[in-house]
Amino acid sequence: MTEPKIGDLFAVKLKRRDAYFTAQILSAQMGLVALVLDGFASVPPNLKEAAKLKPFYFDHHFWKRGEFYLGTDEILDAEPVFIGNAASICEPPECVSLQSIEQIYMQLAWNELPKDIRAKFKSVRKQKLEISQPQSREFYADLARQNPFCYDMKSAVWDENLKDFLEATPIMTQLELNCAGKSLDISRTHLQQLILHASGTEEIALNGSLWRLVINGDIARLKSVRCPFDGELLSVQLELNGGGFCIRGLEKLRDLQIFSQRGECIDLARVAASFPNLREIFINAQGGTLKNIDALAKFKHLKDVWLSEVYGFERFPTRAQLPHLKRLCFWSVPKGACEAARAQFKGIESLVIRQPRSKQWLEINLSNPLRGWDGREGVGAATARKAMRAYAGAHKKLSALEAKPASIELKTEKAEILKEFIAVFNAIDAKHSIDTMEREEIWEAFCKLAELAAVDAKSQERIWEQNAEF
């Protein structure tokens, strides 16, 4: 398809609804944008019909009412039907906020709710319901009457009563589920977003309205996800905590994010086997490794790649192998892969390479939990070196004491090493002003050292509280 022009009108298929919406290309300060129009039909309109349409407004849940704009890339990626060119239906505001096609589904679902619910919703304080134990049908009936505006729930249980409640409550669109059991079926609910702690879950049946699925924990036992459209309309986030995965049922998935909680190995060959149709892939391995980097070439339609804090590879596929790649971001990945990518993809829409890591740097710092300070905006190079050396030095000293027999003197010596570690950051704070995120990272590093020192939890907290001044 040729590049869109101002005034072009397109019809885009809403697959969940089996209907078309119309959008017009307009000029804004940020460049070309697509205005969504208020006309939904089983077939695309003709040019005369499309030119008479009015803007489609966006105001579901807590959003303020405004015109609905999409990026032109999202329109073109949806394989639209070209209707024709007409005078601009309106002028975009100075500041245009872009949404996604998924927000159209959410708005349409919102428009179908009773008017009194929609009218009163925005005046009610946002509240997340929490279920900690199995409840009766009467409980859920009372819940629906007492909290008619609640759409977000967190539950530690999954049973028939909760399932029936979700199926009967259209406004309930977000769920965080801590325990699903061996099998989970939400196919008749109205959920749009699901966060699932899935350790032990083997199969999941999804509904047609879900657009965001987050799965965390050990998902090695998860084998099947039954999903309308084979996952094409889903965005999936996997938060791994041990074990690999091989999932059937999401062969048309386009958008995948992978986070590793324990610095584990992520096998791209397995990713390609489970999700062969990916357009976008984001991986943050937090010090983990990437296996089979060449498997990226198996994704024939790949447009976006983001790799962060992931190592174990020095190559990257060529431009010929990834002909559709538009955006590539490397953040703290091996230097060899960065150089290969820079040589191949210099002319693409967006190429970002930050903090390429040499083999020497990786040998020294890969196991250092404070390695993220190196190159971070707002953290000077000298400060980062001090922080990383503090951990490495304390780790080396404590490791050397592991073979010594337990004694009061040894316990005291280990405690002093931990205090010295904290003292480094007291000094850093006097010049750098340690922020909340950095404080949390220092605490996590301190906990690793305390574990190495075999310090009990009570003593660990006491040493921290008595010595940390930041």
199/216 Cα distance (integer angstroms): 8
Number of H helices, E strands in the chain: 13, 22
Structure tokens at 113: 């709710």
pLDDT given at position 242: 66
Instruction: Report angle CA 285, 288, 289 to the nearest 5 degrees.
Output: 110
Query: How far is the CA of 404 from the CAs of 23, 91, 394, 414, 424, in angstroms?
Result: 72, 76, 16, 11, 26
Helix/strand/coil for 326: coil
Largest CA distance in the chain: 89
Among 304, 333, 365, the domain-final residue is 365
Distance, in Å, from the CA atom of 192 to the CA atom of 55, rounded to the nearest integer, reads: 24
Confidence of residue 276 (pLDDT cuts 50, 70, 90): very high
Phi, psi of 219 (to 5 degrees): -105, 20
Q: Do 409 and 288 sit in the same domain of this protein? A: no
Residue in the structure block whose two tokens are 């009610």: 124
Residues 241 and 299: their CA atoms lie apart, in Å, by: 25
| Collapsed DSSP state (helix, strand, coil) of residue 329 | strand
Domain that holds residue 42: 8-111
| Boundary-marking domain end, from 346, 365, 384 | 365
Residues 302 and 394 in one domain: no
| DSSP helix/strand/coil, 35 | strand
- Residues 79-111: pLDDT tens digits? 999 999 999 999 998 889 999 999 999 999 999
Q: List the 8-14 sheet strands across, edge first.
A: 69-71, 31-41, 19-28, 8-14, 81-85
Q: Does residue 164 lie in a domain region? A: yes
Q: Would 118 be classed as within a structural domain?
A: no
Residue 393 lies in a domain: yes
433, pLDDT greater than 90: no
Q: Which of 330, 365, 400 is the last residue of a domain?
A: 365
Percent pLDDT > 90 in the chain is 68
Write out pLDDT tens, residues 394-425: 999 999 988 888 888 889 999 999 999 999 99
Q: Average pLDDT, whole number, for the chain? A: 91
pLDDT of residue 221: 85
Regarding whether 219 and 336 lie in a shared domain, the answer is: yes
Dihedrals φ, ψ of 394, to 5°? -65, -40
- For the stretch 26-59, pLDDT in tens is 999 888 999 999 999 999 999 999 999 999 999 9
Are residues 41 and 55 in contact, defined by beta-carbon separation less than 8 angstroms? no
* Model pLDDT, residue 120: 85
pTM (predicted TM-score): 0.82
Residue for token digits 């049908």? Answer: 137
The answer on 19 and 131 residing in a single domain is no
In this structure, the answer to whether residues 180 and 323 fall within a common structural domain is yes
In angstroms, rounded to a whole number, what is the distance separating the alpha carbons of residues 307 and 128?
Answer: 33
- Average pLDDT of the segment spanning 183-207: 93
Kindly state whether residues 51 and 167 are assigned to the same domain. no
Q: Which residue type is seen at 201?
A: T
Classify residue 119: in a domain, yes or no.
no
Write the CB contacts of 53 (distance below 8 Å, at least 6 apart in sequence): 22, 37, 38, 39, 45, 89
The whole-angstrom separation of Cα 59 and Cα 143 is 26
Verify that 128 and 276 share a domain, yes or no: yes
Per the domain annotation, does 195 fall within a domain? Answer: yes
User: Does the structure show a pLDDT above 70 at 371?
Assistant: yes
Q: What per-residue confidence (pLDDT) applies to 195?
A: 96
- Cα 54 to the center of its chain, rounded Å: 34
Sign of the dihedral through C-alpha 318, 323, 324, 327: positive
d(CA 220, CA 217): 9
Q: Is residue 116 part of a domain?
A: no
Q: Are residues 308 and 324 in the same domain?
A: yes
The CA distance from 115 to 104, in Å, is: 18
Please indicate, yes or no, if residue 117 is contained in any of the structural domains. no
In a domain, 38, yes or no: yes
Within 316-468, strands assigned E span: 327-331, 350-354
Residues 134 and 221 in one domain: yes
Task: Give the 3-state secondary structure of residue 164.
Answer: helix
Looking at residue 457, the DSSP 8-state letter turns out to be H
For the packed helices 381-400 and 408-432, what is the interaxial angle rounded to 10 degrees?
180
Task: Say how many domains are in the chain.
Answer: 3
Cβ–Cβ under 8 Å, residues 333 and 342:
no
CATH number at residue 361: 3.80.10
For residue 270, give both structure tokens.
């397995």
Co-location of 149 and 91 in the same domain: no
Q: Which position has the higher pLDDT, 393 or 402?
A: 393
pLDDT over 70 at 1, yes or no: no
Q: What is the mean pLDDT of residues 171-176?
A: 94
Q: Are residues 393 and 288 in the same domain?
A: no
The answer to whether 467 touches 423, Cβ cutoff 8 Å, is yes
Pairwise CA distance, residues 45 & 131, whole Å: 47
Same domain as 216, residue 76? no
